[in-house]
Structure 1
Amino acid sequence: MKIKKVAVLGAGAVGSYVIWGLSSRNDIELGAIAEGERAERLKQNGCTINGKIYHPEVWNPGETDAVDLLIVALKYGSLSAALEGIQKATTENTVIMSLMNGVDSEEIIAEKVGVEHLLPAVIKVASHKEEDGYHFDPETTIGIIFGELTAPYDSDRIRAIEELFKDTGIHFRATEYAREEMWSKFRLNVCNNLPQAILGAGVGCYRDSVHMKAISDGLKGELEAIAQAKGIDLSKTEASSGRGSAVPPSARYSTLQDLDAGRHTEIDMFSGALIRMGKELGIPTPYNEYTYHMIKALEEKNDGRFNYTGDEEPTWSK
């Protein structure tokens, strides 16, 4: 297998890392899938990444025949609307690598196109958006981790992707523990992404506050109990993936970035998913339930629901 055509669906913080790396290859076709105003914007302005403008081709989902590798890098809330486009872009030999947060995007996509197309993967990149586009540190970025769920782990498509990423600047690693790697990153997101979003402070808060550390540990305990009940042994990845990318204490992860920008977050994919799994397994998730409702309330605040003027009907405190 040789990968000659790569499509990226979602040219945001995660997709930018892929576009940055693969743009260095002149022996492949590289395009971003987009429609409507977003497509026109990409065609005119390109993608600004680490201060440089990149111009991948821009393809409509119906124009992406014979894509060898489709990289899905969407926000969770955009996935449902994109499934038809993913189906259009998937041909018999297309490999799909979902680099979305969470642990269920592969299942959602597989229901539409078939599980045989999915190659489990996870990305760890501390990317953030500034006025001039997306920024990340290529050297400290952990990168993309991927692997087959069952043997042979050194499959043709694994070797093809290793060859694709080689010498591009993209950091990557194949693994025999793809599911555990995905849950390991899920744990990092739930424990380090969510509490700081409620507090509105940089990630140094976990180091500098015993109270923030206690909240993080509470979320972690619930997640690990659910993982154990599902037969997922997170100890298999402790040596390789116990930490995320190195960041300054002031770093604001994706959930807080969304709230800062007035956007809705991916909380349904994080605590929302854990609450659902906890109910299915009979495992209490009080830390995640509180976190879920707090972040939903912060979204409502951003939406203006609590912009009271003083002219409203009185309410009684209880």
Structure 2
Amino acid sequence: MKIRSVAVLGAGAVGSYVIWGLSEKNDLKLGVVAEGERAGRLKQNGCRINGVTYRPQVWTPKEAHGVDLLVVALKYGALPGALESIREVTGENTVIMSLMNGVDSEELIAEKAGSSHMLYSLIKVASHKEGEGYCFDPDTTIGIVFGELSAPYDSDRVRAVEELFADTGIHFRHTEHIREEIWSKFRLNVCNNLPQAILGAGVGCYQDSVHMKAISDGLRQELEAVAVAKGIDMNKAAGSSVHGSAVPPSARYSTLQDIDAGRHTEIDMFSGALIKMGKELGIPTPYNEYTYHMIKALEEKNDGRFDYTGKKEKTTCAK
């Protein structure tokens, strides 16, 4: 098997890393799946990544049908509306890699496109938006981890993806414990991403405050209880990477970045998904329930649903 065509669905922070890495491959047909106004903007402006404008082809789902590899790099809230497009892109031999956060995007996609197409994967990239583009440090990016859920782990499509990434700047590795790796990243997102988003502070707050650490620990204990009940041993996940760098105490992870920018977050795929699993398994998740509702309330505040700061009220002075 050889991958000769790749379609990327979602040209944001995550998709930009894939587009950046694959754009220099002369023997590869690379495109972004988009329709309507978004397709028009991509055709006109391209993708601005690390200060450089890249111009992959822009395909409708129909035009992308049958590509060898479909990379799904959407925000969680966009996935339900994109499932029909994913189904339309997927041909008989299309491999699908979801680089979305959370632990259930593969299942949601598989329900529409078929589980046989799924090659489980995750990405770790500290990408952020600057102006109309995205920026990341290629050298310290941990990159893409992927693998089969069951043997044979060294499958034809695993080797094909390794060959695809081999002569690019993309950092990658394959693993026999991909589900555990995905859950390990899920744990980091739930425990480190969410509490700081409520507080509105950099990650140094976990070292500075015993109260923030207590919240993070409570979220972790609930998540690990669910994982154990599902037979997932996160100790099997790799403990370190040859890439990556120390996280500065001022770092603001994706949920807080979304709150800062007035965007809706991915809380539904984090605590929202964990609460649902906890209910199915009979495991209480009070820390996650509180966190879920707090971040939903912050989204409502950003949406302008309520403003009781008093700044808009007229004041009267006694004579």
- TM-score w.r.t. structure 1 length? 0.95
Name the SS for the 1:53 alignment partner. Answer: strand
Rounded Cα–Cα distance in structure 2 between residues aligned with 1:192 and 1:53: 33
What is the Cα deviation at residue 310 of structure 1? 4.5
Deviation at 1:159, TM superposition (A): 0.2
Counterpart in 2 of 1:316? none
* CA–CA separation in structure 1 for the residues paired with 2:65 and 2:89: 6
Residue 317 (structure 2) aligns with: none
One-letter amino acid matched to 2:208: D
Q: Kindly indicate whether the alpha-carbon contact (under 8 Å) linking 1:51 and 1:132 is maintained by their aligned counterparts in 2.
A: no
Aligned to 1:117: 117
Q: 1:261-284 CA distances to partner (integer Å, 9 max, x unpaired)?
A: 111111010000111111111111
CA distance in 1 between counterparts of 2:285 and 2:139 reads 37
The residue number in structure 2 matching 1:257 is: 257
- Counterparts of 1:28-67 in structure 2, within 5 Å, are 28-67=28-67
* 8 Å contact kept, 1:140–1:246: no
1:279 has 2:279 as partner: yes
Q: How does 1:298-317 map to 2 (within 5 A)?
A: 298-308=298-308, 309-310=312-313
Q: Which amino acid aligns with 1:229?
A: A
Q: In structure 2, what is the Cα distance between the partners aligned to 1:238 and 1:280?
A: 29
Superimposed CA distance per residue, residues 92-113 of structure 1 (whole angstroms, 9 cap, x where no aligned partner): 0000000000000000000001
Q: CA deviation at 1:132?
A: 4.6
Q: Secondary structure at the match of 1:239?
A: coil
Query: What's the % identity of the aligned pairs?
Result: 79
Deviation per CA, 1:141-170: give whole Å up to 9, x if none. Answer: 110000001111000000000000012110
* Separation of aligned partners in 2, 1:163 and 1:252: 34
1:305: Cα distance to partner? 1.3
Q: Contact (CA 8 Å) 1:15, 1:73: kept in 2 or not?
A: yes
Aligned pair 1:175/2:179, yes or no? Answer: no
CA distance in 2, matches of 1:276, 1:213: 24
Is 2:13 the counterpart of 1:13?
yes
Contact between 2:181 and 2:238, CA under 8 Å: does it hold in 1? no
Report Cα offsets for 1:112-158 as digits up to 9, x if no partner. 01100000001011111111511111111110000001111000000
- Aligned residue for 1:186? 186
CA offsets, 1:19-42, max 9 Å, x none?
Answer: 010012111000000111111111
For residues 130 and 248 of structure 2, the distance between their equivalents in structure 1, rounded to whole angstroms, comes to 16
**Which amino acid is 2:220 matched to?**
K
Distance 1:132 1:45 in 2: 9
**SS of structure 1 residue aligned to 2:239:** helix
Letter in 1 for 2:191: C
Q: Is the 8 A contact 1:141 1:246 kept in 2?
A: no
Q: Deviations over 1:181-225 (max 9, x none)?
A: 000000010011101110111122222222211111111110000
Residue 230 of structure 1 corresponds to which residue in structure 2? 230
Partners of 1:183 and 1:4 lie apart in 2 by 31
**What is the distance in 1 between the residues matched to 2:251 and 2:258?**
13
Matches within 5 A, 1:84-123: 84-123=84-123
d(CA) in 2 for partners of 1:240, 1:150: 23
RMSD: 1.4
Instruction: Find the counterpart in structure 1 of residue 205 from structure 2.
Output: 205
The question of whether the paired residues in 1 share the 8 Å contact of 2:140 and 2:244 is answered with no
The 10-residue stretch of structure 1 (196-205 or 76-85) with the greater mean CA deviation from structure 2: 196-205
For residue 314 of structure 1, what is the aligned residue in structure 2? none
* Displacement after TM superposition at 1:252 (Å): 1.3
- What is the aligned partner in structure 1 of residue 2 from structure 2? 2
Instruction: Report the Cα distance in structure 2 between the residues aligned to 1:289 and 1:75, rounded to whole angstroms.
Output: 21
Alpha carbons 1:124, 1:245 under 8 Å: kept: no
Aligned residues of 1:7 and 1:33 also touching (Cα < 8 A): yes
In 1, distance between residues paired with 2:137 and 2:101? 20
Q: Distance in 2 between matches of 1:290 and 1:128?
A: 28
Number of residues paired by the alignment? 310
- What's the TM-score once normalised by structure 2's chain length? 0.94
Aligned to 2:150: 150
For structure 1, the residue ranges without an aligned partner over 5 or more in a row are: 312-318
The CA deviation string for residues 68-101 of structure 1, in whole angstroms up to 9 with x for no partner, is: 0000000000000001100110000000000000
Gaps of 5+ in 2: 315-319
Distance 1:32 1:245, change over 3 A: farther
Counterpart of 2:188, as a letter, is L
Judge conservation of contact 2:202–2:251 (CA < 8 Å) in 1: yes
Pairwise CA distance, 1:239: 2.4
